[in-house]
């Protein structure tokens, strides 16, 4: 199929943006979306806050679709619904600044590293990632809750160009919805987060270990023993990964403790006797994203790779099932070496900070249901293995979703890790009151469905799956 290509709208959009752009202020840049691995060259034009109404009115009047792009991170296949569109590149909103109350205001073009450099430089830390609109899980959630729990204010452009703020004091309904379903309502321009005093002088205990496949059951059993009352400062990332030279499947485990070295080593020693390699260190909080878990998670964020990801939340990690997955994964890579950068990822984070807030605190629906996040991420460059990769990840996701494996009677999926085949209730919650509240917000803030590219909330609450 020939890629979509429309030349004239590009020229019209460029001219319109140039006409409404003033000088000064934060700028957004625009590019035309094509279905290609690399983003195309950007076209001329810019817009600042005062110009959003003109720009979005022009787009709406000419029935032109758009998509805002921040750091470029997002795997959801639902994005394929956006075709022949204009990309709003937010890179000129790239800033992170500490406020007088030690909160941090982050422009939507800022990278995660921009944020942690600013916060860490102020002797603070923050449970935050670019995934805050879907909730934001991570290593510090046991202490501070998920990312979106730390949001204190957002500034957004709505479909008609109106600039609004949302917080506990204004547009409280939108503020509720942005924290867990935020991709559905507008273009976020700026987010202000609460920050927290740095743990142990900003240093975190980190240990990276590898294990042979024979130790898999012991690794899983040890993790299971920690889950019921998991220390809020403890975070564990487990990977089934591949040695690139031998194509041997191995188990890699990254343990981070946001507390004293003595406290972290106490947990590391539970795994040490049967580890094949054991590398411990103290890492500044600002370096955790690039250095923890052996840098393996960060390495998969490089551009130019195909990613196909299925996931689910799981209360339990039954050892016999994960043995089957591990063996199946090993066999897959032997048969299809082009998939050797693929991983099976298990994120096990503390729950205390997440469960400290009531279930209706925000649109994030999974408090008490995210003990483990399991991700089957197929990574490749050769599309001839695409179908095989999809069959493996999809099939095992369905196996893991069975109640005897997940511990839940229904599929539970963290929205940022969603594919496109789950019922929406798996992402946004099964309670009817959630459906009604989210659909009401959609009708109020995006009545024409301009922000339907990322797990779209239906306008009518009767259309929930």
Strand, helix or coil at 140? coil
Cβ neighbourhood burial of 64 (10 Å; 0-12, 13-18, 19+)? middle
> In terms of domains, do 75 and 170 share one?
no
CA-CA distance, 319 to 226, in Å (whole number)? 15
The last residue of one of the domains, among 386, 402, 422, is 422
The CATH number of the domain holding residue 32 is 3.30.43
Residue spans of alpha helices (H) in 148-284? 172-181, 216-226, 261-271
Q: Are residues 85 and 98 in the same domain?
A: no
The span from the CA of 238 to the CA of 210, in Å, is 10
Look up the pTM and report it.
Answer: 0.88
Query: Closest Cα partner for 109 from 147, 71, 75, 158?
Result: 71
Q: Is 163 exposed, middle or buried (0-12, 13-18, 19+ CB in 10 A)?
A: middle
**Does 105 lie in the same domain as 79?**
no
The residues, any chain, with a CB within 8 Å of residue 320's CB and separated by 6 or more, are none
Alpha-carbon span 285 to 351, nearest angstrom? 20
Give the contacts of 347 (CB within 8 A, at least 6 positions apart): 137, 235, 236, 237, 372, 373, 374, 375
CA atoms of 107 and 188, how far apart (whole Å): 9
The label of the residue with tokens 């800033």 reads: 95
What is the pLDDT, as a whole number, of residue 301? 62
82-88: long-range pairs with CB below 8 Å, 24+? 82/33, 82/453, 83/4, 83/33, 83/35, 84/4, 84/6, 84/33, 85/32, 85/33, 86/13, 86/30, 86/31, 86/32, 86/33, 86/59, 87/30, 87/31, 87/32, 87/33, 87/39, 88/28, 88/30, 88/187
- Answer positive or negative: Cα dihedral of 432, 433, 439, 440: positive
- Structural domain tally of the chain? 3
Residue 135 lies inside a defined structural domain of this protein: yes
Q: Is residue 47 part of a domain?
A: yes
Q: Is residue 4 part of a domain?
A: no
Q: Is the dihedral of CA 307, 312, 316, 320 positive or negative?
A: negative
pLDDT of residue 193: 93
- For residue 106, the SS3 value is strand
> In tens digits, what is the pLDDT along the chain, a chain of 465 residues?
332 222 223 333 333 333 333 333 344 444 433 333 333 333 323 445 556 777 777 788 888 888 887 766 677 889 888 887 777 778 778 888 999 999 999 888 887 778 888 888 787 877 554 478 999 998 889 999 999 999 999 999 999 889 999 999 999 999 999 999 999 999 998 999 999 888 788 889 999 999 999 999 999 999 999 998 999 999 999 999 999 889 999 999 999 999 999 999 999 999 999 999 999 999 888 787 777 766 655 665 667 788 999 999 999 899 999 999 999 999 999 999 999 999 999 999 999 999 999 999 999 999 988 899 999 999 999 999 999 999 999 999 999 999 999 999 999 999 999 999 999 999 999 999 999 999 999 999 999 999 999 999 999 999 998
Distance in angstroms (rounded) separating the CA atoms of residues 349 and 347: 6
Distance CA 419, CA 390 (A): 11
Q: Identify whether residues 56 and 112 lie together within a single domain.
A: no
| Maximal CA-CA distance, the chain | 67
Q: What pLDDT sits at residue 73?
A: 64
Task: Please report whether residue 27 resides in a domain.
Answer: yes
Q: Are residues 99 and 156 in the same domain?
A: yes
Helix axes 432-445, 172-181, angle to 10 degrees: 110
What is the domain range of residue 140?
94-197
88 and 98 co-located in one domain: no
Task: Give domain status of residue 352, yes or no.
Answer: yes
In the numeric block, the tokens 């003595």 are attached to: 262
Query: What one-character DSSP code corresponds to residue 90?
Result: G
The answer to whether residues 346 and 374 touch, using CB atoms and an 8 Å cutoff, is yes
pLDDT of residue 295: 64
Q: Do 291 and 308 fall into the same domain?
A: yes
The answer on 341 and 243 residing in a single domain is yes
* Domain closes at, from 92, 119, 138: 92
Identify whether 102 is part of a domain.
Answer: yes
Does any domain span residue 218? yes
184, 161 contact by CB (below 8 A): no
CATH of the domain at 273: 3.40.462.20
Q: Please state the φ and ψ torsions of residue 30, each to the nearest 5 degrees.
A: -130, 145
Query: Strand order of the sheet with strand 187-193?
Result: 96-98, 104-107, 187-193, 151-157, 163-166
Residue 170 lies in a domain: yes
155 within 8 A of 366, measured Cβ to Cβ: no
- Under DSSP, the state recorded for 199 is G
Q: DSSP state, 56?
A: H
CATH code for the domain of 166: 3.30.465.10
SS3 409: coil
Residues contacting residue 433 through CB under 8 Å, at least 6 positions apart? none
Domain final residue pick, 197, 231, 246:
197
Asked whether residue 334 falls in the same domain as residue 239, the answer is yes
Q: Is residue 236 located within the same domain as residue 106?
A: no
Whether 287 and 408 share a structural domain: yes
Pair (240, 145) in one structural domain: no
Place of tokens 């469960």: 355
């Amino acid at each position: 199929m020939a890629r979509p290509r429309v030349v004239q709208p590009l020229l019209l959009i460029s001219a319109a943006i140039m006409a409404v752009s003033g000088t000064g202020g934060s700028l957004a840049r625009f590019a035309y979306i094509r279905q290609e691995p690399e983003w195309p060259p950007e076209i001329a034009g810019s817009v600042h806050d005062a110009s959003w109404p003109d720009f979005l009115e022009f787009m709406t009047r000419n029935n032109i679709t758009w998509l805002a792009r921040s750091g470029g991170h997002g795997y959801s296949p639902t994005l394929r619904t956006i075709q022949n569109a204009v990309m709003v590149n937010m890179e000129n909103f790239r800033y992170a600044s500490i406020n007088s109350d030690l909160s941090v205001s982050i422009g939507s073009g800022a990278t995660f590293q921009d944020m942690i450099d600013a916060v860490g430089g102020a002797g603070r830390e923050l449970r935050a990632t670019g995934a805050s609109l879907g909730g934001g899980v991570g290593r510090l959630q046991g202490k501070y809750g998920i990312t979106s729990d730390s949001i204190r204010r957002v500034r957004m452009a709505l479909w008609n160009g109106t600039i609004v703020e949302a917080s506990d004091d204004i547009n409280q309904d939108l503020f509720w919805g942005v924290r867990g379903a935020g991709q559905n309502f507008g273009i976020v321009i700026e987010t202000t987060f609460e920050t927290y005093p740095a743990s142990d002088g900003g240093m975190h205990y980190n240990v990276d270990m590898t294990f042979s496949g024979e130790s898999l059951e012991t690794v899983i059993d040890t993790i299971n023993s920690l889950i019921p009352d998991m220390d809020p400062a403890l975070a564990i990332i487990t990977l089934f990964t591949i040695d690139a030279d031998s194509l041997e499947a191995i188990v890699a485990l990254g343990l981070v403790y946001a507390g004293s070295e003595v406290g972290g080593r106490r947990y590391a020693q539970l795994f040490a006797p049967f580890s094949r390699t054991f590398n411990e260190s103290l890492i500044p909080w600002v370096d955790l994203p690039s250095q923890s878990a052996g840098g393996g998670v960060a390495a998969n964020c490089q551009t130019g790779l195909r990613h196909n990801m299925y996931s689910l939340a799981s209360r339990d990690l039954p050892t016999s099932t994960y043995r089957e997955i591990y063996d199946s994964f090993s066999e897959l890579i032997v048969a299809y070496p082009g998939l050797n950068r693929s991983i099976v990822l298990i994120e096990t984070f503390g729950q205390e900070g997440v469960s400290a807030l009531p279930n209706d605190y925000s649109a994030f629906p999974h408090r008490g249901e995210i003990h483990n996040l399991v991700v089957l991420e197929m990574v490749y460059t050769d599309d001839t293995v695409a179908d095989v990769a999809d069959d493996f990840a999809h099939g095992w996701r369905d196996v893991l979703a069975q109640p005897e494996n997940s511990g839940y009677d229904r599929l539970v999926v963290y929205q940022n890790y969603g594919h496109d085949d789950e019922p929406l209730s798996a992402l946004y919650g099964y309670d009817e009151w959630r459906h009604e509240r989210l659909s009401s917000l959609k009708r109020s803030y995006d009545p024409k469905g301009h922000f339907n590219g990322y797990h779209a909330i239906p306008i009518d609450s009767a259309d929930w799956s």
